Structure 1
Amino acid sequence: MISNVYRKIMVATDGSEPVRRAVERAVEIAKISGAKLYAVYVIAAGGLSIPSYPKDVGWERATLEYFRTEGEEATAYVENSGKAENIEVESVILEGNPADEIVDFAEKNDIDLIVMGTLGRTGIQKFLLGSVAENVVRHAKKAVLVVRGETV
């Protein structure tokens, strides 16, 4: 049964194993609703360098290239998952504050549903960036589905 409830679904991915459950749910909902799926990866701009160290342009460029490659791999996983279910997927790599970029992309592209995982980056990255999912839930004007990254 095809539904018009969701026409455009965005799944935020960081390529981690826990987030793959969110990808599975996004693909499932897109298949049921006939929606287009957007795979969004955000490179955390500003989080790539440590302020107390001198900036090294070569290091920053290499780091950006590393995260861009990671983003391409993460969004390719979504593309392949969607393709297996005959779902149209568009991959997008953004730079900036992850929560802000996700919310802005959803608004600018008239996304009906944002799907994200609760787990992904951990340790110092989570401490420095805060909870992206929590910030998206607090600030998004669109519906947000948060998928647990592990079973209870």
Structure 2
Amino acid sequence: MPFKRILVPFDTSELSVKALEKAMELSAENQTQIFILHVINEIPIPIRYSKIESKNNEVTITPLAKKIHEEIKNEMILILEDVKNKYATNYISISTEIKIGDPVEMIVDFAKQNNIELIVMGSIGHKGITGMFKRLGSVARRIVEEVEIAVLIVR
């Protein structure tokens, strides 16, 4: 069964690049839409620096966290544009998106909202503030547990 809508959670790690290459292989004969999603973890800010306000049903976060998120996002926009240009072909459409939040929640929600048929992801990824995967395989394991679609884990 050919997959027409494939999601690749991408954190720039070697395994996320391998996952993207595997998604490209699976798409080689088909008109396929590949979605590359990068998730920036929420940044824990010490209480004394944080300021979360709610105005008109909108939550605003501390300017420090917002600045850090924007810097990471701007860097990732350039990286994802390069990745998109490198892998784009006539028969494969690639879109990129960046979200901020819990990686598992963002990936699961994105898959549901975009009618994804297959998720191709690395078993582990970067650690730290910009990395998608905090603990060895925890995100991949939780994704497999939470979605009802095919998931291909690349090692």
Which band: TM-score by shorter chain?
A: 0.7 to 0.9
**Equivalence map 1:57-76=2 (5 Å):** 57-76=62-81
Quote the Cα distance in structure 2 between the aligned partners of 1:118 and 1:110: 23
Quickly say closer, same or farther: Cα 1:80–1:16, change in 2 above 3 A.
same
Residue 113 of structure 1: aligned partner: 118
Structure 2 alignment gaps of length 5 or more: 52-61
Q: Which has the greater radius of gyration?
A: 2
**Equivalence map 1:1-152=2 (5 Å):** 5-45=2-42, 48-55=43-50, 57-84=62-89, 86-122=91-127, 126-127=134-135, 131-148=138-155
CA shift for structure 1 position 80: 2.2
Secondary structure, counterpart of 2:16 in structure 1: helix
Secondary structure, counterpart of 1:49 in structure 2: coil
In the alignment, is the contact (CA less than 8 A) between 1:11 and 1:39 conserved in 2?
yes
Aligned length: 142
Residue 55 of structure 2: aligned partner: none
8-17 or 116-125, larger mean C-alpha shift:
116-125
Quickly say closer, same or farther: Cα 1:100–1:142, change in 2 above 3 A.
same
Quickly say closer, same or farther: Cα 1:96–1:87, change in 2 above 3 A.
same
Quickly say closer, same or farther: Cα 1:146–1:67, change in 2 above 3 A.
same
Quote the Cα distance in structure 2 between the aligned partners of 1:50 and 1:130: 25
CA shift for structure 1 position 69: 2.2
Normalised to the residue count of structure 2, the TM-score between the two structures is 0.78
AA aligned to 1:137 is V
Quote the Cα distance in structure 2 between the aligned partners of 1:112 and 1:63: 33
RMSD between superposed Cα atoms in Å = 2.5
Q: Which has the higher strand share?
A: 2
In the alignment, is the contact (CA less than 8 A) between 1:107 and 1:141 conserved in 2?
no
CA shift for structure 1 position 8: 0.6
In the alignment, is the contact (CA less than 8 A) between 1:23 and 1:78 conserved in 2?
no
Question: Percent identity at matched positions?
Answer: 34
List structure 1 segments (4+ residues) > 3 angstroms apart after TM superposition: 50-53
Structure 1 alignment gaps of length 5 or more: none
